[in-house]
Every structure is written in C-alpha cells, then in structure tokens.
Homo-oligomer: A and B are copies of this chain.
Amino acid sequence: MQIDAASSDERYQIRKLDVTDKNKGFMELLQQLTVCDSVSDEEFQKRFEELRSCGDDHVICVIEDLVLSKIVATGSVFIEKKFIRNCGKVGHVEDVVVDSSARGLQLGKKVIGFLVDHARMTGCYKVILDCSADNKAFYEKCGFKEKEIQMVKYFI
C-alpha cells in the first residue's frame, strides 16, 4: 500500500504512551526488540503508574496507526540528573523499535525527534543512546555521533 505524505501524517499519530496502549499491541511491538514476555494488565498498570510518577523525567513516545488502532513505533527517554556540568542533565534514549510492517515511513526518525526534543526542552546538555553497528547509520542520520563503548554485565 502506497501512502502519501499528507495521509501518512493523518494516519500516524505521535504522542506519549497511554495506559490503554497495551490493548493496541504495545507489548507485541516491544517483542520485536528483545525478550519481552507478556505481562498481566495489573503488572502493566503498575509499571505505567511508576513511570508516570516520574513526570517529564521518564517519557515513552508511541506512534499509533489510527486506521488499525495499533502502536507501530515506540521509544523512551529518561532524564538523568548529575552534579557535573553545573548540575547538568542527560537524556538517555532506550527501547526504540518500529513495527516490521511499518518500516520505510520515517516513523523511527519521528520517534527519535520526539525524544530528542523532549530532552532538549527539559534542559539536558546532551542525549545519548546505545545501538548495534547495524543501526549506527540510522542514528547518524538523526544527528548522533559515535562516542564511546557500551559495556554490559548480565545478572541472569
């Protein structure tokens, strides 16, 4: 299906995560990213409220396909408060994914734009993320540059 720019803007709504998005395939979308078992409605609501209580310090962006009532892209940003850089703040972007059926529509770029704008507006001096070598070119198109090495230690 070919979608022109105008109808694409109407069809794909970008906004913050709503608690009802669990019924619109939000968790199934995250499963395309990594290990993501199904969680109960109660668990989802509890985590949603925990994150909502952080206010602007933790924001999850989603794009809804209004025709299908389905979440087709998401990403999150949380704001770390530091002592360095004159008590500065840093935005950390995490868990960015676009539904496999909705690629090529620039939805990933829109999600990153939303999260970067949020970090800028909350006064961050930088925004960072970790990505695979495969996704590096995408983030470069979004204005990011390679900086350091991500190291990890797993507990389970």
Contact = CB atoms under 8 A, between A and B. Distances in A.
Given A130-B128, A148-B131, A149-B150, A83 B30 contact: yes
Interface residues of A, number: 60
Contacts of A105: none
Interface string A18-57: 0000000011001001111101000110110011000000
A126 to B, nearest CB: 5
Contacts of A78: 80
Nearest to A46: B87
A81 B146 CA distance: 25
Interface of A: 26-27, 30, 33-37, 39, 43-44, 46-47, 50-51, 58, 76, 78, 80-87, 92, 94-95, 116, 119-120, 124-133, 136, 139-140, 142-156
10 contacts: A26-B83, A37-B85, A82-B94, A126-B155, A127-B155, A128-B150, A129-B150, A130-B147, A131-B148, A148-B150
Given A126-B154, A130-B151, 16 more contacts: A30-B84, A33-B84, A34-B84, A36-B86, A39-B86, A39-B87, A43-B87, A50-B81, A51-B81, A78-B80, A92-B92, A124-B155, A128-B151, A130-B150, A139-B151, A144-B153
